Amino acid sequence: MTDTTLAPATRRSRSLPRINTSVIVMTLYLLFLLLPIYWLLNMSLKTNTEILGSFTLWPRNLTFANYATILTDPSWYSGYINSLIYVVMNTVISLTVALPAAYAFSRYHFMGDKHLFFWLLTNRMAPPAVFALPFFQLYSSIGLFDTHIAVALAHCLFNVPLAVWILEGFMRGVPKEIDETAYIDGYSFGGFFVKIFMPLISSGIGVAAFFCFMFSWVELLLSRTLTTVDAKPIAATMTRTVSASGLDWGVLAAAGVLTIIPGALVIWFVRNYIAKGFALGRV
Amino acid sequence: MNKTVNHKAWFLVLPVLVLVAFSAVIPLMTVVNYSVQDTFGNNQFFWAGLEWFDEMLHSDRMWNALGRQLMFSGIILAIEVPLGIFVALNMPKSGFWASFCLVLMSLPLLIPWNVVGTIWQVFGRVDIGLLGRTLESLGIDYNYTQSTLAAWITIVVMDVWHWTSLVALLAYAGLKSIPDAYYQAAKIDQASRWKVFRYIELPKMAGVLMIAILLRFMDSFMIYTEPFVVTGGGPGNATTLLSIDLVKMALGQFDLGPAAAFSIMYFLVILLISWVFYTVMTNLDKKGM
Residue B114 to residue A239, Cβ atoms within 8 A:
yes
Q: How far apart are CA B230 and CA B114, in angstroms?
A: 9
Q: Is the pLDDT of residue A22 over 50?
A: yes
| Radius of gyration of chain B, Cα coordinates, nearest whole angstrom | 23
Interface with B, mutate which of A212, A274, A276, A280 (most B CBs under 10 A): A274
**Of the given ranges (A208-217, A252-261, B47-56, B142-151), which has the lowest mean pLDDT?**
B47-56
CB A93 within 8 A of CB A164: no
B98 CB-near residues (< 8 Å, 6+ apart): B91, B92
Residue A130 to residue B246, Cβ atoms within 8 A:
yes
A100 CB-near residues (< 8 Å, 6+ apart): A193, B12, B13, B15
Please tell me which of the candidates A35, A110, A137 has its beta carbon nearest to residue B6: A110
CB B206 within 8 A of CB B284: no
Instruction: Give the per-residue pLDDT at B78.
Output: 93
Q: How many domains does chain B divide into?
A: 1
Residue B267 to residue A131, Cβ atoms within 8 A:
no
Return the higher-pLDDT residue of B48 and A206: A206
Residue B86 to residue A160, Cβ atoms within 8 A:
no
Return the higher-pLDDT residue of A208 and A69: A208
DSSP string of A59-82, one letter each residue? -SS---HHHHHHHH-HHHHHHHHH
Instruction: Give the per-residue pLDDT at A4.
Output: 44
Q: How far apart are CA A206 and CA A217, in angstroms?
A: 16
Please tell me which of the candidates A32, A126, A278 has its beta carbon nearest to residue B166: A278
| Nearest chain B Cα distance for residue A204, angstroms | 17
Over chain A, what is the mean pLDDT? 83
The verdict on B75 touching A (C-beta cutoff 8 Å) is no
Tell me which DSSP letter residue B1 carries: -
A239 CB-near residues (< 8 Å, 6+ apart): A220, A224, B114, B229
Q: At A242, is the pLDDT very low, low, confident or very high (cuts 50, 70, 90)?
A: low
Instruction: Give the per-residue pLDDT at B248.
Output: 83
Q: At A9, is the pLDDT very low, low, confident or very high (cuts 50, 70, 90)?
A: very low
Residue A276 to residue B105, Cβ atoms within 8 A:
no
The verdict on A237 touching B (C-beta cutoff 8 Å) is no
Instruction: Give the per-residue pLDDT at A10.
Output: 43
| Nearest chain A Cα distance for residue B270, angstroms | 7
Instruction: Give the per-residue pLDDT at B2.
Output: 67
Q: How many CB atoms lie within 10 A of CB B204?
A: 16
Instruction: Give the per-residue pLDDT at A15.
Output: 47
pTM: 0.84
Q: How far apart are CA A272 and CA A274, in angstroms?
A: 6
CB A62 within 8 A of CB A275: no
What is the maximal distance between C-alpha atoms in chain B?
A: 79
Interface with A, mutate which of B10, B23, B35, B210 (most A CBs under 10 A): B23
* Count of CB pairs separated by less than 8 Å, A with B: 287
Low-confidence stretches of chain B (pLDDT < 50) are 289
Q: B2-60, pLDDT tens digit by residue?
A: 678 888 888 888 888 888 888 888 888 888 888 888 776 666 677 777 777 887 788 88
- CATH says A73-278 is which class? mainly alpha
The residues spanned by each domain of chain A are 2-44, 73-278
Find, in chain A, the residue whose alpha carbon is nearest to that of B219: A125
Facing residues of A236 across strands?
Answer: none
| Nearest chain B Cα distance for residue A65, angstroms | 19
Q: Is the pLDDT of residue A91 over 80?
A: yes
**Of the given ranges (A30-39, A54-63, A138-147, A217-226), which has the lowest mean pLDDT?**
A54-63
| Nearest chain A Cα distance for residue B23, angstroms | 6
Q: At A272, is the pLDDT very low, low, confident or very high (cuts 50, 70, 90)?
A: confident
pLDDT, average across residues A153-159: 90
Q: Which residues on chain A are in Cβ contact (under 8 Å) with B17?
A: 116
| Nearest chain A Cα distance for residue B120, angstroms | 7
Facing residues of B38 across strands?
Answer: B46
Tell me which DSSP letter residue B43 carries: T
Instruction: Give the per-residue pLDDT at A12.
Output: 45
Instruction: Give the per-residue pLDDT at B122.
Output: 84
The SS3 call for residue A233 is coil
The verdict on A211 touching B (C-beta cutoff 8 Å) is no
* Residue B134 lies inside a defined structural domain of this protein: yes
Find, in chain B, the residue whose alpha carbon is nearest to that of A129: B243
In this prediction the ipTM stands at 0.83
Alpha-helix runs per DSSP H in chain B: 10-20, 26-35, 51-57, 60-90, 96-106, 113-124, 130-137, 148-176, 180-188, 193-196, 202-221, 225-231, 242-247, 256-288
Phi, psi of B176 (to 5 degrees): -70, -20
A208-212, A243-247, B227-231: which is most confident? A208-212
Tell me which DSSP letter residue B50 carries: T
* % of chain A at pLDDT higher than 90: 19
Domain range for B250: 61-288
Q: At A13, is the pLDDT very low, low, confident or very high (cuts 50, 70, 90)?
A: very low
Task: Tell me the one-letter amino acid at B148.
Answer: T
* % of chain A at pLDDT higher than 70: 90
Q: Is the pLDDT of residue A279 over 90?
A: no
Which CATH number belongs to the domain containing residue B90 in this structure? 1.10.3720.10
| Nearest chain A Cα distance for residue B287, angstroms | 12
